[in-house]
Amino acid sequence: MNTTPVLYTITGQDRPGVTAGLLESLDTTGAEVIDAEQIVIRGELVLCLLLNMPAESQPDVTRSLQAAALREGMSIAVDEEPALDDPRRLGRVLVTVMAEPLCPTALAGITRRIADLGGNIDRIERLAGYPLVVVRLTVSGADEGDLREALAAESASGGLDIAVQRLALTRRGTHLVVMDVDSTLIQDEVIELIAHYAGCEEEVRAVTEAAMRGELDFTESLHARVSLLAGVHVSALDEVRDTIRLTPGARTLCRTLKRLGYRIAVVSGGFTHVVEPLAARLGADYALANELEVVDGVLTGRVVGPVVDRRGKAEALRRFAAESNIPLEQTVAIGDGANDVDMISLAGLGIAFNAKPALKAAADTSVNVPYLDAVLYVLGITREEVEAADAADGVPTRADLTESTLITRPGR
């Protein structure tokens, strides 16, 4: 039988039952659906139907759809020679753009760079409208590495966050999210808080910053810093634990991931006395950190057992994934310093959060806004999904001003 494909594009005001009515009009025409895509923007529907049918049936199919569209008050365009199996659709990537505000010129710069690389924008959709404007572009036909490099330059010049990732990484299912703690999950560097009690805070801070930039070996720097804590009473660790500040959005991130079935792990070059209670508080499934030696209620200035360094963090990610029966390509790692490079490189998706240059260079994508739950958008989770999950659990959606971004900006 001689068949022919035809592309129908139908636009007009959306309401319940519109799509069903249009498709029902084809009931007796013998047409088959090859491809379909629909989007609604502010109540305006755009429906694309690629139909295959016997050549002699095409006039009847077109008349049926035109009549159905007219009844619904919609317009229809017909393309009798549509492109099939467009090679540009192969290897599609997602480009997530976060800004406040998102200016037309900024979005124009992004789309121009995509076009210059031979990329095509198949779809644009909004993920959130506050406190950041977040849109996601599905792009085909451009090399992922070239796109990431070009859009990193656009991000730097335009003052907005742009994340690039393979489409396959956003497929729903069981994932493992592994997070660094100091300066990622929390705003503080725990060893510096402890150093305050030893009177060597500035000295420890200088060594920490050099280690996070990758200028010093982490293990050696940790032993050097911990040695300065000798003589501090263990009660200081309790005080530090009670004063740490979660990064804004940390609680929302963990709460939402847990509701959606993700597994969560925290790995830290910090210390178990602080990290383990924090992990339990946030519902993490796994936790790993260094253990400070305590004798007679006083820190000795030594670490018990192997140091959790950059290699140890990567090994922990691999072990936690295996214990959860989650393949590495479905793991996500989030960190900020050179100590996180190995686990960021190993994960299916590595995210540099307000990170040092050494980590940004190794990560798949960067998030530079001060809200940790912005990571949800990179994972393809929308603000509406977050709020729906919160509402189902009776969680106030705009009340947590210190640990969530679910707030309106001043004046809203």
* Active-site entry in 14, 182, 364, 373: 182
Residue 152, Ramachandran bin (φ over 0: left; ψ between -120 and 50: alpha; else beta): alpha
Residue 377 CA to residue 131 CA, distance in Å, equals 12
Closest CA to 58 of 88, 86, 26: 26
> Quick check: 303 and 269 in contact, CB under 8 A?
no
Per DSSP, the residues of 297-361 read TEEEEEEESS---HHHHHHHHHHHHHHTT--GGGEEEEE-SGGGHHHHHHSSEEEEES--HHHHH
* Active-site entry in 14, 161, 180, 340: 180
* Backbone torsions φ then ψ of 39, nearest 5 degrees: -145, 145
Closest CA to 189 of 225, 219, 214, 215: 225
Q: In what order do the strands lie in the sheet with 75-79?
A: 32-41, 44-54, 3-13, 75-79
Closest CA to 191 of 306, 260, 258, 272: 272
Is there a catalytic annotation at residue 27?
no
Is there a catalytic annotation at residue 161?
no
> Quick check: 328 and 348 in contact, CB under 8 A?
yes
Q: In what order do the strands lie in the sheet with 120-128?
A: 120-128, 133-140, 93-99, 161-166
> Quick check: 134 and 128 in contact, CB under 8 A?
yes
Residue 68 CA to residue 93 CA, distance in Å, equals 35
Determine whether 43 is exposed, middle or buried from the number of CB atoms within 10 Å of its CB (0-12, 13-18, 19+).
exposed
* Backbone torsions φ then ψ of 267, nearest 5 degrees: -130, 135
> Quick check: 118 and 77 in contact, CB under 8 A?
no
Residues with a catalytic annotation lie at 180, 182
